[in-house]
Amino acid sequence: MQAHRPLLSWKLALYSPRQKLAQISPAQTIYHNATARVITTELLEAHLVRHLGRLDPPITPYPISSACRWARTRPNPDLTPFSLRQNRRSDRRSTHAITDLICSVPLWLTTATVQNFQARARETGGLRVDHHSPLQLSHLHQAGDKDRKLEANTSSDQRPLSAEYKYHRIPGRRSNEPRHACSCNSSLSISKCGAPMASPFSVPSLIMEEEGRFEAEVAEVESWWGTERFRLTKRPYTARDVALLRGTLRQSYASGEMAKKLWRTLKAHQAAGTASRTFGALDPVQVTMMAKHLDTIYVSGWQCSSTHTSTNEPGPDLADYPYDTVPNKVEHLFFAQLYHDRKQREARMSMPRAERAREPYVDFLKPIIADGDTGFGGATATVKLCKLFVERGAAGVHLEDQSSVTKKCGHMAGKVLVAVSEHVNRLVAARLQFDVMGVETVLVARTDAVAATLIQTNVDARDHQFILGVTNPGLKGRSLAAVLSDAMSAGKTGRELQAIEDEWLASARLMTFSDCVRDAISGLDSITDQEKQRRLREWETATGYERCVSNEQARDVAARLGVASVFWDWDLPRTREGFYRFRGSVAAAVVRGRAFAPHADVLWMETSSPNVAECTAFAGGVKAACPEAMLAYNLSPSFNWDASGMTDAEMSAFIPSVARLGYVWQFITLAGFHADALVTDTFARDFARRGMLAYVERIQREERINGVETLEHQKWSGANFYDRVLKTVQGGISSTAAMGKGKLPSCLSLRY
C-alpha cells in the first residue's frame, strides 16, 4: 500500500459480477455491485481500510434513510453523519452524455474515526475537509460561498463527513446487462453530508444539495418579502410555495427594474402630496414625446381594443379581444423606449462635452402601467396574462372587479361585478406570478362598484348589504326570470319583453335589506317615536357598512329590534342570466377598496363624473382602515368636463387638489386617441382646402417653434445611429451611410 499517496489522484476501476473491466493494481481497486448500483457499507469499509490503513478504533457504519437529515436521532451520541455519494459522469470519449446522478448510502461514523481521517489527511496531503457546522450551511449559500474549504488540521473539533466516489461507464448498454466501465480519474474526497451547494445552474450532485439550494431560495424569498417594498402586502401563500413554482434557471426582466422605478416615483409623489399625471399612449411617437414631460406612461385597453388588437379587428372595450393584445402594445412601446434611449446615448457621447452640456437629457425609460382588464378569465388566465406583461415590459398592471364574461368599459352601462373574494383571488394570482418571476411589478386594483347595477353572486358577505331585494309580498313565488320565460314561451319578443320586465321591476319595490329594515322600524305603530329613533341608531351601529355583516346576521339584528317578519327576497329579481341586482355607491367601493388593499399596491375607484366629494369620501373611507394606501384616479375623457360645473381655475387645480387626498397616479385613459384624432381631422380638413400652406403653418412651423424632434424625422428615426453601426462594422467608414454623401439637401432643423 502506498500510504502517503494523495487521495485525490487515485485511479479506480469497476468490476462487474462476471469480469474485471480494467487492469489496475489490486491495492488501488474498489469493487462495485453493478446490479444493485450502490456501494455497500462493507465495500466502503474494505476500501477505506485498504487505502487508509487499518483504523483504530475500526469503522462502525450505521446505515440510515437516504433522506438523511442532521436532525435525525443518532444511533449513538458519539456518532456523526457519514454519506457516500455516487455520481455518474459523461464519458468524454463518447458522444453520449450521462449527466444524471446519484446513489447515496448515508452512514454514521464515530468521532474517533473522523479524527483518524484528519490525521491521515495530514499525512497524505492534498485532502480537504469541510469546516462548516450544519447551521452555517444556509448562510454560506445565501452569501454565494459555495467552495470555501479549510485544511484538515485547522480545527480539532471538525466533524465530517462523506466519501464521494465518482465514476463513469460506457453508455448504450441496457440496464439489465453487466455495466462495462473504463478506468478513469476519480476521487475519494472527504466532505460533510449536505455540503455547500454547487452552481444553481447545474444538475444536483446530491439530493441533500438539491434540497439545500431549494431551502436557500425559500430563505431568499422570505428575506425579499421582508423589505420595505412589501411591508403592507399580505399573501395567503408562503415563500416555499413560490420556490416550488420556479425553475432552476433564474431569469431577470427589464420590467423588474422599471417596476422599482415606478414604485419610487409613486412613493415620492405620496410623500410630497403630488401626483404622477399621464395619459394613454398610442404609438412610439407619442411615448417618446411624452417622455420629455411626464414620469409615467399608460397603456389603455380601450385604445388597444379600438386601434391595435392582435387580430387587427377593432371594436369597443368589451375585453373580448385576444388577451395578448395589450401586452403586445406594451412591448411595442417599451421597445421604442429602449431604442430611443440607445439612440440618445450614442448621440450624446459623440458630442463634445460643451455641446453635451447644452443638450437636454431625456429619460425615455418611463415606467409603463398597463390595462389588465379583468384578467381575461380565471386565476390561471390571470397568471398567464401577468407573465406576458412582465416579459413585455410593463412596470405596473391594473385589474378590475367586473365579470370577465360581461366586462364593459368603466363608463358604459350593464357592468356586472364579481364577488369581493373572486377579485381578491385575481389579485393574489397576479402577485403570485410576479413573485415567481422575482419582480416587484406594481399592482393596481380597480373597482367599478360606484356605477355597477349587477353582481354575479351573493357568496361573499361583504357584498350582502348592497344587494337589492323585492319588498312587495304580492310577487312572492313569481320571480322575474320565470315571468320572462313564460312570456317568451307565449311568443313575446323585443319591446314586449322589455315592457314586462319594466312593469315587474316597478312593482317590486326594490331596496337593500338595510333600507327595508329602516322602513319597517319607522312603520311600527306600537312604539314611540323616541323608541323608533333609538332602534334606528342601534341598527346603524350594528350594521354599518364598514362592519360588512352578512344577511343572516342582519336578520338576527332585525329580529332583536322587533321586525323579524319583514319581507325581503333577493332571489326574485335576479336577471335571466342569474345576476343579482346591486346598488352601486361610494360605500360599496370603500368596502372593496379595503378588501383589496392588502393584496394591491394602488387602489382605483372608477367614477362617473369628476366629483371631488366622491374622491374625498373614497379616500377617507379607505384610509380610515389603510392609512398608507396609494390611490389612483381616472381623469376620464368620458366626463363632460365643461358640464361639471367647475370653472377653468377649478379644472386647473383639480389634479393637485385630488393629489392631496392621496391620489398619487392620475391619468387620462384616451388622451392619445383623442389628440391623434383632433390633429388628423383638423389638418386633413385644412390641407384639403389650402394645400401645402396648411402643412407648413399647422405642422412644420409648429414643430420648429416648439422644438419637436420629429421635424428632423430621419434623425428621430435613428438614421445616424445606424450609420454608427455600419461604420463600426466596416472599420470606421461606410460609403452607404444613410446620412452621408448623396443625402438630399434639406433645410430642416430645430434651429433657423
Catalytic residues: 409
SS3 assignment, position 364: coil
How far apart CA 383 and CA 599 sit, in angstroms, is 15
Q: Is the CA virtual torsion 639, 645, 647, 649 positive or negative? A: negative
Note whether 417 and 448 are within 8 A (CB). Answer: yes
H/E segment holding residue 84: strand 79-89
H/E segment holding residue 605: strand 602-605
What's the start-to-end Cα distance of the chain, in Å?
93
Label residue 731 left, alpha or beta by phi (over 0 means left) and psi (-120 to 50 means alpha). left
Class of residue 726 by CB neighbours under 10 A (exposed 0-12, middle 13-18, buried 19+) = middle
How far apart CA 573 and CA 508 sit, in angstroms, is 8
CB count in 10 Å sphere of residue 651: 13
How far apart CA 197 and CA 205 sit, in angstroms, is 9
Per-residue exposure over 288-309, b if at least 16 CB sit within 10 Å of its own CB, e if not: bbbbeebbbbbbbbbbbbbbbb
Q: Which residues contact 496 (CB under 8 A, 6 or more apart)?
A: 487
How far apart CA 531 and CA 522 sit, in angstroms, is 10
SS3 assignment, position 349: helix
CB count in 10 Å sphere of residue 95: 8
Strand partners, 238: none
Question: C-alpha cell of 603?
Answer: 387602489
How far apart CA 375 and CA 51 sit, in angstroms, is 65
Nearest Cα neighbor of 369 from 289, 442, 283, 434 is 442
How far apart CA 665 and CA 617 sit, in angstroms, is 18
